[in-house]
Amino acid sequence: QQQVKQSPQSLIVQKGGISIINCAYENTAFDYFPWYQQFPGKGPALLIAIRPDVSEKKEGRFTISFNKSAKQFSLHIMDSQPGDSATYFCAASIWNQAGTALIFGKGTTLSVSS
């Protein structure tokens, strides 16, 4: 119930291509779904987040698609660049509920080849 399942574990994309990372959850009480980007030796940084009242959110080349009925959400990186090579984590939590913390997926290592 508390898990967030992320796939694929690793991804290689050509420069200019689209990178797609998928996540699934079981706990229907989750209502906050962020994506974090992490470079080697650094802490994760918030990339983009979505609440389930919308099905899609776009910020620049990054888009979250959310399917509430399927309990799935995905990150799309358009026009992928070598600088996007990093590890990406999806996460889920209950918005603003005291005593809760983000549950993270296991991460996807993205390599964008030039």
Q: State the residues that interact with another protein by CB under 8 A.
A: 6, 9, 32, 34, 36, 41-46, 49, 89, 93, 95-96, 98-99, 101-107
Specify the residue, 83 or 99, whose C-beta has the smaller distance to another protein: 99
* Smallest distance, another protein to C-beta of residue 101, A: 5
DSSP assignment of 69-90 equals: TTTEEEEEESS--GGG-EEEEE
Query: Distance between CA 36 and CA 4 in Å, rounded?
Result: 14
Specify the residue, 3 or 72, whose C-beta has the smaller distance to another protein: 3
In 3D space, the residue among 106, 112, 113 whose CA is nearest the CA of residue 9 turns out to be 106
Write the DSSP symbol of residue 32: B
Specify the residue, 71 or 106, whose C-beta has the smaller distance to another protein: 106
Specify the residue, 20 or 102, whose C-beta has the smaller distance to another protein: 102
Query: Distance between CA 101 and CA 2 in Å, rounded?
Result: 11
* Smallest distance, another protein to C-beta of residue 79, A: 25
* Smallest distance, another protein to C-beta of residue 105, A: 6
* Smallest distance, another protein to C-beta of residue 16, A: 28
Contact 62, 70 (CB under 8 A): no
